[in-house]
Amino acid sequence: MVMFIFLLAMGALNLCLATDGEPLIAGVDIKPETLNLKSKGNWITVFVEPPEGYETEAIIADSVIISEVKGVTTVGTTIEPVRSNIGDDDEDGVNELMLKYSRSEIQEVIKSNNLTGQVEITVTGSLTDAETFTGSDTVRVKGPKN
């Protein structure tokens, strides 16, 4: 259930979205779309469009972690971004937060769990008003399992 809360602060009326503890949904696009496990690339790039009603600047970049890879939680091996930037990568008029993650860390989770084929990667993060969000994209995994 989503509630709308009106706050009067410093003479301005603000509309905030309040949820009942469920994370908001963000748009996620992961590049490359095919992850070749033999590749020596450095990064996986994740583009996050903010949840409805939020600006990209409301996303706390350091909070956005890769939390699941094909249902396998990454708890204990938290995969955090190493770099971020804001821009409109897909040219749809909505800025995205671009985050770079260590390709080798993600590949290690994939290899150690023998994941192949279509693999859903989920990110979670926080917004400046303490709300949380989640979003997923699917990549194709190609190459040796181990």
Over residues 31-66, the pLDDT tens digits come to 999 999 988 899 999 999 999 999 999 999 999 999
**CATH class of the domain comprising 22-142:** mainly beta
Strands 43-49 and 96-102: antiparallel
Domain ranges of the chain: 22-142
Residue 141 has φ and ψ, to the nearest 5°, of -100, 130
Over residues 99-128, the pLDDT tens digits come to 999 999 999 889 988 998 999 999 999 999
- Contact yes or no for 58/129 (Cβ under 8 A): yes
CA atoms within 13 A on the CB side of 10: 0
